[in-house]
Structure 1
Amino acid sequence: MNTEESYIRHKIKHNEERFLSTLRWILFSFIVGLALGVVGAMFHHGISYVTDLRLSHPFLLYLLPVGAILIALLYKVCGYENDGGTNVVIASIHSDERIPLRMSVLIFISTIFSHLCGASVGREGAALQVGGSLGYSVGRLLRFNDRDKKTMVMVGMSAVFSALFGTPFAAAIFSMEVVSVGIMHYAALLPCTIASLTARYVAARLGAPAPFYEIMEYSKFNFVSCLKIALLASLCGLVSILFCVSLHKTSGLAKKYLKNRYLRALIGGTLMLIISLLIENQDFNGAGTAVIAGCISGETVPYAFLLKIVVTSICIAAGYKGGEIVPTFYIGASFGCLFGQLAGISPSMCAAIGMGAMFCGVTNSPITAFLICLELFGFDGANFFLLAIAFSYVVSGYFGLYSSQKIVYSKFKSNFINKMTE
């Protein structure tokens, strides 16, 4: 056999392996998307049900002092006291860290219960943990190698995020982008896309709608409006730092001075209850999607974004589960709306821009942030969204929600730095 024939045989075999591998990923990601679309829809309906129940029965807020204690006990009984949350999922993609299957069950139950109590938490923590845990378990069941198990983790994350948030484009990219800032795991693009689109289709068929907000008024895209939006985005970058630092410092100080987790839960839950009673409404309890819709309509109160930072930090430190992304949207929408009112530029448009800029600032995921804006608000404001996200990405520096997220390349120069977020 001559050299040319050997080369041809090698290429045929190599491309055959690629073809079979691609077929395998198409099949598995489709199946995972179907299954996790059902899980995401169930989760959506569970949160919607307990939120409606709490709003119609305000006395359930009195569960706040004991709710986090019950969650801590649940994790202890299940042998998972040292819960690393979403950081465990992200870390598993960097390394060979194992993701226990019970994580998905625990975060599912505890997040729904947190919303029932009225804790200021989101849903993305549950989406990423449920998806990552189940994806990892599927990879182990099918005896995937370590590289393929990491891809399956990202596939699961994309599927549940898409089903729950109704943003399949953003979900497909987010699991690849959030892990390492500066690089993308493009090998996972096809399976993440298939799982994301499939899960969204299934969730929609099961009654979990995709949200869409109509911006009341767009400002003209000119030099003055661009300056105002650049200022808004820069301020959102600073607010995102404030939010991240508040979350990390509050949790750190609570663990340092209140070493007993049940005492932390009691004090944090009691503080949240007192704040809720003083406010005399539930605008700061739960995810706050109704408040976000109000901001898009151009209505907010001046202190909303600051108080949401405070109550979310308290609830996360107390041990309530759910995540910080929906509170991030709340903070961005309320801050953006306030900025629009003060700066004489469409408050509705600024609320939408604030959501995208804040998301980018806390996750260091500009492509996902841009896609979320397009899916939630449409393409009419695309120029403003892109401009704002670019400014927020730079101004937010190396801070982030997830301590296991790596900054591989500098935001300011094409330098390899490989550091963790602050």
Structure 2
Amino acid sequence: MDIVALKLTIIKKYVITFFKWVMVAGITGLIGGLVGSAFHISVEYATNLRMKNDWIIFILPLGGIAIIYLYKLFKLGNNMGTNLVIDSIRTDGKVPFVMSPLIFISTVITHLFGGSAGREGAALQLGGSIGSQVGKVLRLDEKDMHLITLCGMSGVFSALFGTPLTATFFSMEVISVGIIYYSSFIPCIVSSIVAYEVSLFFGLEPVRFNINIIPSFSIENMIRVAALGALCALVSILFCETLHKTNKLLIKLIKNNYIRIFCGGLAIVAFTFLVGCRDYNGAGMDIITNAMNGHAKPEAFILKIIFTVITISVGYKGGEIVPTFFIGATFGCVVGNLIGLDPGFGAAIGVVALFCGVVNTLITSVILSIELFGSGAVILFAIACGVSYMLSGYYSLYSSQKIVYSKLKAEFINRSAM
């Protein structure tokens, strides 16, 4: 009888925990979906306004000063961002509430005036802050605070990109490379799905691309895809190293945050007129789409790296993932064509392989390929991601990311990303 009672107690515990997280994650996803949708609409409005008014880029340096002032006003360090959210998962799970409005407004300013940045950095910071605040209101304990922060990250990421499964696994996988927190799967996927449905309710289109030509599954194509994956690993190292070293160098050379971001804004304006087009301002989703259709300039990927590195290093806000898509798509389009792949398919491989290299999330990257491009060539995408993951070393866009297990053998190393 005691054994039966014990089993019933255990079953009751599992059931209660399950329904608790469905409810809590549902609430988090609802809030994340609303905030994420509002953020998506705001960024799109800012982008359209910029594209209709070329002169607005001249205000970028002043927009940078406004960003620094806002962060100083609310006593939040300008360098606090996605790394803070990642660190919070390993500590107390608490993310400052003020981070949400600051990253929301600052990212819109960056996109409005032509900085080269994405949206996912804001998504992770918005989501982490939302999750943390929900956890505080519900008085969750420290371990549950970790899960609710992941829920928030998944929800806003899903609302912005329309990729609920990718959002789920990204939050689970990005914190510690080599470990996936399976206990967070139900909370994260519930939050992702709810947020995704909210974004659809507001008429937001999920990010999707069509591949015109899917190559056959052959030894030759596997070798070509593996080669492109290896080259994307090298580009990922270049991007991460350039970003981190430029940031450290500029902080050392120009200690005043206001002067640094103002000079960075002037540099973006100057480079924009030097290249003679606006392709490298903002996120550049139209350029990504062109690459998927087989059209990309050979120099586009390196110019996007330059624009993004300057923008992020001097203190403008946004994220590096959409620029990564841009870099990967344009690089893959050009190089894929050179090695015998259809350029549009090469662009698709470049997107997921470079994403995998800069964030070290192998499973997420394979799932991303399915949600963005369909499952028709998933094995080829998986090969490219696997090669990029292994050869990209321990470099990462997020210095707070932990490499728990080696990429080369079953060895516990627990080191910080480079």
Q: Could you say which TM-score interval applies, normalised by the shorter chain?
A: over 0.9
- C-alpha distance after superposition, 1:363-395 (max 9, x if no partner): 000111111111111111212101100000001
2:314 aligned residue: 318
CA distance in 1 between counterparts of 2:215 and 2:11 reads: 52
2:64, 2:265 within 8 Å by CA — same for their partners in 1? yes
The whole-number CA distance in structure 2 between the counterparts of 1:11 and 1:370 is 39
1:183 is displaced (CA, Å) by 0.7
Of residues 222-231 and 124-133 in structure 1, the stretch that sits farther from structure 2 once superposed is: 222-231
Between 12-21 and 408-417, the greater mean CA deviation after superposition: 12-21
Check the 8 A contact 2:78/2:315 in 1, yes or no: no
Q: CA deviation at 1:317?
A: 1.2
1:189-235 residue CA offsets vs partner (Å, 9 max, x unmatched): 00101110111011011011112111121222211111111110000
What is the identity, as a one-letter code, of the residue corresponding to 1:257? Answer: L
Counterpart of 1:284 (choices 276, 280, 287) is 280
The one-letter amino acid paired with 2:20 is: R
Q: Separation in 2 of the partners of 1:253 and 1:84?
A: 18
- Give SS of 2:415's match: strand
Cα distance 1:97–1:152, how it changes in 2: closer, same or farther (>3 A)?
A: closer
Q: TM-score, normalised to structure 1's length?
A: 0.98
Instruction: Describe how 1:270-281 pairs up with structure 2 within 5 A.
Output: 270-281=266-277
Pairing partner for 1:128 from 106, 116, 124: 124
Task: Say whether residues 1:213 and 2:194 are aligned partners.
Answer: no
37-46 or 89-98: bigger deviation: 89-98
Cα distance per residue 1:157-206 (max 9 Å; x no partner): 00000000111110011101000000111111001011101110110110
Task: Count how many residue pairs are aligned between Structure 1 and Structure 2.
Answer: 418
Alignment match of 1:172 (pick from 155, 168, 174): 168
Return the match for 1:255 from 247, 251, 254: 251
Tell me the residue number matched to 2:220. Answer: 224
1:267 — aligned with what?
263
1:337 is matched with which residue: 324, 333, 340? 333
Shift of 1:79: 1.3
Distance 1:337 1:419 in 2: 34
2:370 to 371, 374, 377: 374
Aligned residue type for 1:374: I
1:300 to 285, 296, 309: 296
Question: Offset of 1:97 from its aligned partner?
Answer: 5.7
Provide runs of 4+ in structure 1 moved above 6 Å: none
Provide the C-alpha distance between the structure 1 equivalents of 2:288 and 2:59, rounded to a whole number of angstroms: 25
CA displacement at 1:94 relative to structure 2: 1.1
Residue 16 of structure 1: CA displacement? 0.9
Within-5 A mapping of 1:18-417: 18-96=14-92, 98-417=94-413
2:26 touches 2:194 (CA, 8 Å); kept in 1?
yes
> Which stretch of structure 1 is more off in the superposition, 215-224 or 161-170?
215-224
Secondary structure in 2 aligned to 1:418? strand
Cα distance in 2 for partners of 1:259, 1:202 equals 43
Query: Residue 416 of structure 2 corresponds to which residue in structure 1?
Result: 420
Assess if the C-alpha contact under 8 Å between 1:335 and 1:354 holds in 2. yes
| Secondary structure, aligned partner of 2:317 | coil
Q: Is the 8 A contact 2:93 2:145 kept in 1?
A: no
Report the alpha carbon displacement of residue 279 of structure 1 after superposing the two structures with TM. 2.0
Which amino acid is 1:266 matched to? F
* Percent identity between the two aligned chains: 46
* Contact 2:93/2:132 (<8 A) preserved: no
What letter is aligned with 1:170? Answer: T
What is the CA–CA distance in structure 2 between the aligned matches of 1:98 and 1:368, rounded to whole Å?
25
State the secondary structure of the residue aligned to 1:399.
coil
2: CA distance, partners of 1:199 / 1:312? 28
Change in 2 beyond 3 A, CA 1:201/1:97: closer
Of residues 245-254 and 28-37 in structure 1, the stretch that sits farther from structure 2 once superposed is: 28-37
Q: 1:341: Cα distance to partner?
A: 2.2
Contact kept in structure 2, 1:38 and 1:202, CA below 8 Å? yes
Take 1:383 and 1:81, find their aligned partners in 2: how far apart are those partners?
A: 43
The answer to whether the Cα contact below 8 Å between 1:72 and 1:81 also exists between their aligned partners in 2 is: no
How far apart, CA to CA, are the structure 1 residues paired with 2:49 and 2:277? 15
- Equivalent-residue separation in structure 1 for 2:149 and 2:231 (angstroms): 34
SS in 2 for 1:282: coil
2:76 aligned counterpart, secondary structure: coil
Look up the equivalent residue of 1:305 and give its one-letter code.
F
CA contact (8 A) 2:46 2:112 kept: yes
CA distance in 2: counterparts of 1:147 and 1:85, whole angstroms = 22
Alignment gaps of 5+ in structure 2: none
**TM-score of the pair, normalised by structure 2:** 0.98
Task: State the shift of 1:96 in Å.
Answer: 1.9
The Cα of 1:82 is off from its aligned counterpart by 4.6
The answer (yes or no) to whether the contact 2:79–2:315 under 8 Å persists in 1 is no
Provide, for residues 100-145 of structure 1, a one-character-per-residue CA deviation record: whole Å limited to 9, x for no partner.
Answer: 0000110001001100010000000000000001101110111100
What is the distance in 2 between the residues matched to 1:378 and 1:172?
18
